[in-house]
Structure 1
């Protein structure tokens, strides 16, 4: 049997890889030798493993995580190609977000922040006291958009049991949400029937940190943004524009910042207004 196998040196030459790389792939579980001599520890490979070795090397050049490499190499044909395509779509989305963040930071570092803020119109509005059903979660920035959509969907569905939705849904940030800080964030939906809402909260228990509370009346300083501007980091510029305006007007923050979603998100286009970013002020 061993006569039909290739030594690690011969296999490395065929695969155009180093023996060091092959030992690493073995250690990572990506390419296991066909046979290992128990006495000498020498590794031997089959000739038909060359293609897999080359594939692993190329996938690593894409900075693909080991778990994703195992998924691709463990599949065949169209399925393997689809898994690679899904990974690359994730990479392109991440790079696009990083490119936007870099532009945002260039503006801040070059002193163009004032120009960035000028495109936002800041106003104030008085909002009444409201009864809200809420869901709270500690979440990092990369998970936040998905959680907001899912939690507001759950709460809007629950509002049918609580007299119906009685105002625009909103998200309150009780502490910073970033890639290092996990909030918490609180999704809120105003409802009409307090007794029904409290009965609903009792049925939920504490599985998702749901509750009913009264959101006090407040004056909000806010700016209206489009669906495209909701994306990170554009939305940071909107929040900073409101903070700059508050400072210029001599207003103090009177509560945690929030995002108020007043439009149908799914029906809105990229340039349609969908959200107010706001701070309670005094």
Structure 2
């Protein structure tokens, strides 16, 4: 499904005469695993103000701010330890989440082996004191 979704977004960007200006990423609005489906957003950065054709693809700006992050090297299916590292740090530092987690895909699975894939796991955080 994600491959098809990225294809839909790439096509919409191309049809709008625009180009990506950043790494593709996914925002996970739900916990997703082998037993559970959930809502995700498939995202490809484009220049501000890019006009896209509409459903199912739309333009929106994500709020900036601090993130707790780590980089996972290896197959996508083996990424869960990276999530545990980041969520452990968030707990240890007693910071609040400020949004759903993201996976930023730093290289292309069509050009590198699964062992060489690099994925940045980010959790937006709120660093204001509790």
TM more than 0.5: yes
Shift of 1:212: 2.0
**Is 1:184 matched up with 2:39?**
yes
Equivalent residue number for residue 19 of structure 2: 164
Distance 1:250 1:265 in 2: 35
Displacement of 1:162: 4.9
Residue matched to 2:90: 246
Counterpart-to-counterpart distance in 2, 1:195 and 1:169: 16
Shift of 1:193: 5.2
Q: Which has the larger radius of gyration?
A: 1
Counterpart pick for 2:9 among 149, 155, 168: 155
5+ residue gaps, structure 2: none
Instruction: Write the mapping of 1:1-282 to structure 2, written as runs, cut at 5 A.
Output: 147-160=1-14, 161-192=16-47, 194-197=49-52, 200-201=53-54, 205=55, 209-228=56-75, 230-231=76-77, 234-282=78-126
CA distance in 2, matches of 1:269, 1:190: 24
CA contact (8 A) 2:73 2:116 kept: yes
Between structures 1 and 2, the one with greater helix share: 1
- Partners of 2:101 and 2:17 lie apart in 1 by 26
CA distance in 2: counterparts of 1:186 and 1:271, whole angstroms: 25
User: In 2, distance between residues paired with 1:210 and 1:165?
Assistant: 14
Q: Is the 8 A contact 2:73 2:117 kept in 1?
A: yes
Distance 1:221 1:251 in 2: 10
User: Could you say if the C-alpha distance between residues 179 and 271 of structure 1 is closer, same or farther in structure 2, counting changes exceeding 3 Å?
Assistant: closer
Distance 1:162 1:258, change over 3 A: farther
Aligned CA RMSD, in angstroms, stands at 1.9
Higher relative contact order (CA 8 A, sep 6+): 2
Deviations, residues 129-188 of structure 1 (Å, cap 9, x unaligned): xxxxxxxxxxxxxxxxxx122211321232232521021111111111134432111101
TM-score (norm 2): 0.83
Contact 1:221 1:242 in 2 (8 A): yes
TM score, norm. by length of structure 1: 0.41
